[in-house]
Amino acid sequence: MTTTASHVAPGIDRIATTVEIGGFGQLAVNAFVLHGAEPVLVEAGTVVDRDDFMTALRTVTDPGELRWLWLSHTDPDHIGSIPQLLDEAPRLRVITTFFGMGILNLVTPLPPDRVNFVNPGERITLGNRTLTCIRPPAYDNPVSTGFHDDRTGVLFSSDCFGALLPELPDRADTLDANTLREGQVRWATIDSPWLQTVDTDRYAAVLDRIRRIEPTMILSSHLPPAPGNMVDFLLGSLAATHNADPFQAPDQHMLETMLAEAAAGPTT
Ligand SMILES: [Fe+2]
Ligand SMILES: [Fe+2]
């Protein structure tokens, strides 16, 4: 895994970890820093990479000055540095939901007075910006939330719109359209397999609610940054997932083959 920091939009930096998913390509694991009167960190990186995450974070901000952590959900690729952040940033509060806090109580408990609940449809004003909470149209964890930032017009979509890709460019719009569509559909069949069972008309209305936000940029936890003019394409990938082949996970025979190959060492 490698973790780097980069500037992605006015007042927004990305902390990106590249994860190799053996045989399936690369997955971005992104967190974001929203600079402003009350700095916001979106996501807290992976559990196994927490030291590298904090190192990369320090190159774009002083973690001690962070005021908010928007935790979109409680999966291990989003919560890694919570203990360090609570220690280092005495004024930091974690934005999550009732069940988000409940799940974290089993992993890395949050002091309740350092939590702020925000549910889909609600807004929260943090200094010079107001964030409107949304439920992403695809997710792998029912506590998932995303948000629209009124200061930049950017939509933060949690796991939604992620893609498994041969390699990860700096921006999603430099990818070949077929590669991106294939990578997004593959990810959606893995991360949100329930998408393949939904009523397509009712789901079209869900996608339309996202389209009407007219985001200036889409920042997903698992996709390189995408400009707002890609929103129709990204929503189209979710719609296309309905009829895609279901994901077939590697079976025990494949695992044993991989182990045997690893034991035999590299071929020349
Ligand atoms: Fe997730
Ligand atoms: Fe994730």
- For tokens 């992104």, the residue is 30
Residue 210's closest CA among 235, 182, 190, 233?
235
Confidence of residue 266 (pLDDT cuts 50, 70, 90): confident
Secondary structure of 115-165 in HEC code, one letter for each residue: EEECCCCCEEEECCEEEEEECCCCCCCCCCCEEEECCCCEEECCCCCCCCE
- Residue 253 Cα to ligand 1 midpoint, Å, equals 27
Q: Which ligand has an atom closest to residue 222 CA?
A: 2
Q: What is the arithmetic mean of pLDDT over 159-181?
A: 98
Q: Which ligand has an atom closest to residue 77 CA?
A: 2
Tens-place pLDDT, residues 183-227: 999 999 999 999 999 999 999 999 999 999 999 999 999 999 999
Q: Which ligand has an atom closest to residue 191 CA?
A: 1
Confidence of residue 37 (pLDDT cuts 50, 70, 90): very high
- Residue 262 Cα to ligand 2 midpoint, Å, equals 28
Q: Which ligand has an atom closest to residue 17 CA?
A: 2
- Residue 212 Cα to ligand 2 midpoint, Å, equals 24
Tens-place pLDDT, residues 50-96: 999 999 999 999 999 999 999 999 999 999 999 999 999 999 999 99
What is the pLDDT, as a whole number, of residue 5?
97
- Residue 222 Cα to ligand 2 midpoint, Å, equals 7
- Residue 265 Cα to ligand 1 midpoint, Å, equals 34
- Residue 125 Cα to ligand 2 midpoint, Å, equals 25
DSSP-based three-state secondary structure for 226: strand
- What lies within 8 Å, CB to CB, of 208 at 6+ separation is none
Over pLDDT 70: what percentage of the chain? 99
Does pLDDT of 18 surpass 90?
A: yes
What is the pLDDT, as a whole number, of residue 154?
98
- Torsion sign, CA atoms 189, 194, 200, 201: negative
- Residue 261 Cα to ligand 1 midpoint, Å, equals 30
CA-to-CA separations, 148 to 16, 135, 167, 239, 265, in angstroms, rounded = 20, 11, 28, 21, 49
What is the pLDDT, as a whole number, of residue 268?
61
CATH architecture of 2-246: 4-Layer Sandwich (3.60)
Cα angle vertex 43, ends 37, 47, to 5°?
135
- Residue 141 Cα to ligand 1 midpoint, Å, equals 6
What is the pLDDT, as a whole number, of residue 265?
85
Does pLDDT of 22 surpass 90?
A: no
